[in-house]
A and B are shown apart, each in its own frame.
Chain A
Amino acid sequence: MQALLYPKTYSFRRRPENILAACLLPRRESVVAQNFYKGRWSYTAFVAPILLLIGMFFYIPVFLSFFWSFFLERPFGGGSEFVGFQNYARILGDPEFWSAMRRTLLFMVIAPGLAIGVSLVLALAVNRGLRGSHAARNIIIWPKAVAGASIGVVFVFIFDPFLGVFQSINAIFPGLWNPRVDGTDAFITIVIAQIWNGIPFNFIILLSGLQTIPDTLTKAAAMDGAGPWRRIVDIELPLLTPQLFLTFVLEFVGTIVEAFGLIDTMTQGGPGGATNLLIYKIYSDGFKAYDLSGAATQTAILTIFVTVMVLLQFRLEKHVKYER
């Protein structure tokens, strides 16, 4: 059973949850003593529920979406016609698909970049033990407990052109800020909400990484005359690459799918389609427009896209140094 689940040691290490474990635990303990459980039934019992859930809500739907993408499916069933690659031709020839894809890519670069950047600055500050950092360490984590949809509801109010924080700017320059009608403004509000949503987790991971860097290194560097900036660039960041890589992987892939709750509560893809990311377009095409074939095809394309992104990221992992 062990051999079946983890055929080679390196593949065990590369799983995101194990990278997480590797980041949080000392190296030796992360490769858990593999004879901990006696008897093969124990493994099965512990793994079965989650495998069953993942199977039902992930693998089977993904498989079905690939299957349906070759059919023209009637919403209520009854007549489904095999059309080969016609759905793919339609989707790939649809400018709306490409603009949703462009928006998704833009969102994928901006939101994780800033969410990790801001978290890194906060983590570095707290790690230096600046005044108030003890309180900040707690407070910054709290937003993790807020669901994406709730964040959406709150941010709609915060960025309301008449009631929110930019009300005063609108009073001076009327109509300058209006995410209800201006696509760029709406996109900015989604990005900010996503960043705010991502900071707590990234902060915890990066801070824990920083705190495992041995004191002796920074002290030695300080004695050699390296200032705080020099120490960050030459010591802390290079030693933080495992944690940076983890946050990068999770944020990058997460933004593709997690933005759904924010979009649904804040903009419903509008105004004028400006926040219609691929994940939301799939939902609205499939469930609001009864285009099951088109939605299935886009899901298949999205699955391939995410897989390729993850594979690319793991090529990047070759540059990550886990040894200290």
Chain B
Amino acid sequence: MKPGKIILASIVFAGQSSLATAEDIEFWYGNTGTIEAAIQTACEAFNESQSEHSVTCVGQGGYEPAMQKAIAAYRSQQHPVMIQLFDAGTLDLMLSDAVVPVQDIMPDVDWNDYLGGARSYYETSTGAMFSQPYNGSTLIFYANMDALGEVGVTEIPDTYEGVVEVARQLKENGHSCPVLQRVHPWFSLEQFSARHGEPIATNGNGYSGLDAEYVFNEGLVAEHLTNIAAWREEGLFRLPVDTEGEKNAFNTGECAMLETSTGAYGGTYAALGDSVGVGLAPVYEGYERHNTLIGGASIWVMKGHGDAEYSAASAFLEFVRQDAQQIEFTRTTGNLPVTKSALETLRGSDEAGAIEFATAELGVTSLSQPGDDNSRGIRLGFYVQFRDIFVEEVTKAMNEEQSVQEALDAAAGRGNELLRRFEQTYAGVALP
């Protein structure tokens, strides 16, 4: 065979791609570990429950890789019917023109059954759901009750003043890490601002227009991060980088208190057993407690597929929305039920008091606190990149290369440049 023919043959061969049948659709997700196992279980259960449709669930190794691959796949028209994407990418997807709002393909679903905190994050300005909340979590407070017991504390503090008081007692008792604190904006900015009713950006964190501007650098967030830096200096707070166990330093018993996701409960309980106590994340005295934000991810339906694929997608979304499926998902992952009916079913069941559901009630309580314009969610463009900028600048402050105020001003300034570029990128596109 002539070389030219070999090359031609290999190109033709490489061009062959598998053509999916109409009812066999793909669902891409980002999670790994226990949540991935739960997603795969749900997929198998769906495929076994009926014979009309079949869903292939494909893990992409993380939320960010899933988003990257979704972009690449969409640009080359190889994208799946459904994709699970994370909270921070919400606005990027809403304006992408690559997704169909779930409410459009499933108008008959009672979307008001979704918990307020989950709805507000993923709905349009007119109240239509853009994506279906799936694995939901929120921020709560964890304490090692054995460590607190050593200084005579039996109640988990629910204010920062209280946390600092307990931390001082622990430190005086020789404890090297009373509080483990993450500086990632999900913990120190988003959830913090929401539950204090403080704005991250104008326009209700971007909900009423793309011309929003970051304002978190003035006010309580700045005060809070300055406090964290001072408490770290005093030896009351530790960042993961200061500890041997890093992000796991609470689970290893090195640290006594921590703000983190409800989804972390499973791992924490496995490590520390009954000495784990949980409560609402602390607020500063004198501030009314608002709702925390829903974290995790939701399922989006992508454009460019036929009716048969969308009916398969609807069937799958219906399936994972069922109370029993949500409760099973909560049991294995520590995520929250996301509809009122699932929550009611769980409350009415014999298992409500089981250890696997220990954070469900608390998480939902946290999500259901009174809300305002600043606690609906985050609707800011290129927000994933902003999170990296925030971490970068605050890390420099924690390493004493600049003051906390300088760090926040720099982060807000760089963030505003992102927002302006986002506005220009989507010039002429209305916020849904």
Q: Are B391 and A270 in contact (CB under 8 A)?
A: yes
From A1-9, A242-250, A288-296, the one touching the partner chain is A288-296
Q: Are A76 and B75 in contact (CB under 8 A)?
A: yes
Name the residue on B nearest A83 (C-beta): B424
Among A76, A79, A178, the residue within 8 A (CB) of B74 is: A76
Residue count of chain B within 8 Å CB distance of chain A: 40
Q: Which residues of B contact A66 (CB under 8 A)?
A: none
Is B414 positioned at the interface, with any CB of A under 8 Å from its CB? yes
Question: Contact flags (1/0) for A91-103 with B, using CB distance below 8 Å?
Answer: 0000010000000
Q: B331 to chain A: closest CB distance in Å?
A: 33
- CA separation between A77 and B424, bound complex, in Å? 15
Is A48 positioned at the interface, with any CB of B under 8 Å from its CB? yes
Name the residue on A nearest B427 (C-beta): A81
Among A76, A175, A181, A289, the residue within 8 A (CB) of B382 is: A289
Name the residue on B nearest A174 (C-beta): B242
Q: B261 to chain A: closest CB distance in Å?
A: 21
Q: Are A77 and B74 in contact (CB under 8 A)?
A: yes
Q: Are A76 and B98 in contact (CB under 8 A)?
A: yes
Q: Are A74 and B7 in contact (CB under 8 A)?
A: no
For window 155-182 of chain A, which residues contact chain B by CB distance below 8 Å? Answer: 162-163, 175, 178, 180-182
Name the residue on B nearest A49 (C-beta): B7
A76-B98, A77-B75, A290-B384 known; A273 and B392 CB under 8 Å? yes
Q: A282 to chain B: closest CB distance in Å?
A: 13
Is B3 positioned at the interface, with any CB of A under 8 Å from its CB? yes
Chain B binding surface, main DSSP class: helix
Chain A binding surface, main DSSP class: loop
Q: Which residues of A contact B2 (CB under 8 A)?
A: 41
Question: Contact flags (1/0) for A242-286 with B, using CB distance below 8 Å?
Answer: 000000000000000000000000000011110000000000110
Q: Which residues of A contact B242 (CB under 8 A)?
A: 175, 178, 181
Q: Which residues of A contact B239 (CB under 8 A)?
A: 181
Q: Are A74 and B425 in contact (CB under 8 A)?
A: yes
CB within 8 Å: A-B pair count: 96
Q: Are B388 and A289 in contact (CB under 8 A)?
A: yes
Q: Are B399 and A52 in contact (CB under 8 A)?
A: no
Q: Which residues of B contact A287 (CB under 8 A)?
A: 64, 68
Q: Are A290 and B74 in contact (CB under 8 A)?
A: no
Is A225 positioned at the interface, with any CB of B under 8 Å from its CB? no
- CA separation between A270 and B75, bound complex, in Å? 30
- CA separation between A271 and B395, bound complex, in Å? 6
- CA separation between A62 and B281, bound complex, in Å? 49
Is B241 positioned at the interface, with any CB of A under 8 Å from its CB? yes
Q: Are A44 and B3 in contact (CB under 8 A)?
A: yes
Name the residue on A nearest B6 (C-beta): A45
Is A132 positioned at the interface, with any CB of B under 8 Å from its CB? no
Question: Contact flags (1/0) for A283-316 with B, using CB distance below 8 Å?
Answer: 0110111110000000000000000000000000
Q: B82 to chain A: closest CB distance in Å?
A: 16
**22 contacting pairs across A/B (C-beta < 8 A):** A48-B7, A72-B421, A74-B425, A74-B426, A75-B92, A76-B75, A76-B97, A79-B429, A81-B427, A180-B241, A181-B242, A183-B401, A270-B392, A271-B392, A271-B396, A272-B395, A287-B68, A289-B382, A289-B385, A290-B67, A290-B71, A290-B385
Taking A175-B242, A288-B388, A290-B71 as given, write out 7 further A-B residue pairs in contact, using a Cβ cutoff of 8 Å, ordered by the A residue number. A75-B96, A181-B239, A182-B399, A183-B401, A272-B401, A284-B388, A291-B421
Residues of chain B at the chain A interface (Cβ within 8 Å) = 2-3, 6-7, 64, 67-68, 71, 74-75, 92, 96-98, 239-242, 244, 246, 382, 384-385, 388, 391-393, 395-396, 398-399, 401, 414, 418, 421, 424-427, 429
Residues of chain A at the chain B interface (Cβ within 8 Å) = 41, 44-45, 48-49, 52, 72-79, 81, 90, 96, 162-163, 175, 178, 180-183, 270-273, 284-285, 287-291
**5 closest cross-chain pairs (CB), A and B:** A289-B385, A45-B3, A272-B396, A180-B241, A76-B96
